[in-house]
């Protein structure tokens, strides 16, 4: 969002709130809007007097209130972002669990084959977590082997279940293209079809609604998302809500 659009949004939102008359409140709401435009979910506050002042405003409520703004502890949110953040946290927590059935000996043998038997191999640890848990986040700087680790994970999974339906996605077209160039499914057992998140979710022509969601989930046994740190909060909410 450019500067002019940001200023328009600020004024439009303040008008919807009835233009708060207290300067400190108006300034804080502007700071919150700016933080949101810059992809922060909330505005941290460190002034107890300001927090008490915000609590007195009719448009600012507590987490369970139906107000445009939510004050949760020392953080101020736009209501939509507060609920998105809370629901994303709940969905991630619910998926952060072990898979229902594993064969430890088979996994150990295959990991040793792909990564060697040396101890302290963090790529091997990432693969172990990916094979034994429903949710895995793999991080690391450039050249640390994230893509090669994912390739080996895919190889092991497809050996165990050749018919597994795998979807690959990235937040932007450029990231999707780079992922497509760097990943091809192991041993030619499956074709890697990399999509942007918008295409994966089936964005409609209006640019606001999507074909896939809680009532029509994405068809996939495994979803791999590259550059996940680029995903903003509303898109992460849409993605997690659309997973089976």
Length of the chain: 244
Say what the pLDDT of residue 16 is: 77
Long-range contacts, 40-44 (Cβ 8 Å, 24+):
41/77, 41/81, 41/82, 41/84, 41/85, 41/233, 42/72, 42/75, 42/76, 42/77, 42/81, 42/82, 42/85, 43/75, 43/76, 43/77, 44/74, 44/75
Residues of the chain with pLDDT under 70: 1-6, 19, 184-192
* Per-residue pLDDT reduced to its tens digit, 116-165: 998 899 999 999 999 999 999 999 998 888 988 999 999 999 998 899 99
Query: Model-level pTM greater than 0.85?
Result: yes
């Amino acid at each position: 969002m450019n500067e002019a659009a940001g200023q328009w949004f600020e004024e439009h939102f303040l008008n919807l709130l009835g233009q708060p008359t207290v300067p400190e409140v108006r300034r804080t709401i502007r700071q919150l809007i700016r933080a949101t435009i810059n992809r922060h979910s909330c505005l941290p506050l460190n002034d107890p007097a300001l927090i008490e002042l915000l609590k007195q405003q009719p448009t600012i409520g507590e987490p369970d209130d139906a107000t445009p703004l939510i004050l949760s502890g020392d953080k101020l949110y736009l209501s939509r972002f507060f609920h998105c953040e809370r629901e994303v946290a709940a969905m991630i927590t619910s998926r952060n669990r072990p898979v229902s059935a594993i064969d430890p000996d088979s996994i150990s043998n295959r990991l040793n084959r792909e990564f060697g038997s040396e101890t302290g191999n963090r790529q091997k640890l990432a693969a172990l977590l990916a094979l034994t848990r429903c949710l895995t986040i793999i991080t690391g700087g450039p050249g640390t082997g994230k893509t090669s680790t994912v390739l080996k994970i895919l190889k092991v999974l497809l050996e165990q279940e050749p018919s597994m339906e795998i979807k690959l996605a990235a937040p932007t077209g450029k990231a999707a293209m780079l992922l497509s160039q760097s990943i091809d499914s192991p041993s030619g057992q499956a074709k890697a079809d990399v999509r942007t998140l918008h295409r994966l979710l089936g964005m409609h022509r209006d640019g606001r609604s999507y074909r896939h969601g809680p009532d029509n989930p994405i068809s996939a046994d495994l979803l791999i998302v590259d550059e996940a740190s680029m995903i903003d909060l509303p898109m992460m909410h849409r993605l997690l809500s659309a997973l089976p």
